[in-house]
Amino acid sequence: MHKKDKDSDSLSLYNARISHGSGFDLLRYSAFDDLLGEEKPQILYVLGKNMAREHRVTSIETAIEMFIQMGIGELTHVKEKRSEDIFELTSPLIAARHQAVENHEYRFESGILAEVMTNCRGFQCETLEDIKPKKATVIFTVKHYR
């Protein structure tokens, strides 16, 4: 199968499974690769932080609502510890991405959570993601740096 055929098959799979949020995915997994190159993960992380800052997302509840409104998925605050918070993101998009895209990532979403938690906790935070494609879930671990 030619690369072009594989790409159109991936696009067909996306269109068959999802509708809400797929426009950003097309940019993220197609245009952004060409535009941002190897720096894409870092740039998306910073864009997520900037979006949370620009829209004054300063609470976990507001972040949860933002994820729903943007079509990202359902975000759940699973656990709060002294040095970290755990979030879970679920969405049909996660399973579809796993089948349609080889290198899927959630750096944009991680950036949003890092900025939100920096505002909530009052000190610098960083978010790491653990993708669980079989469960259609992403686990975000937000580390607090005091």
In order of their start, the domains of the chain are 3-144 (3.30.1380.20)
| Cα gap 36→44, rounded to integer Å | 9
pLDDT score of 56: 86
Lowest mean pLDDT among 37-41, 50-54, 94-98, 111-115: 94-98
- The yes-or-no verdict on residue 3 having pLDDT over 50 is no
Say which residues have a Cβ less than 8 Å from residue 59's Cβ, sequence separation at least 6.
Answer: 116, 119, 120
Instruction: Give the H/E segment covering residue 68.
Output: helix 60-69
pLDDT for 20-41, tens place per residue?
455 666 666 667 777 788 898 9
Which pTM value belongs to this model? 0.79
Q: What is the mean pLDDT of the chain?
A: 82
Indicate the burial class of 138 (C-beta count within 10 angstroms; 0-12, 13-18, 19 or more).
buried
- Token reading at 108: 């944009």
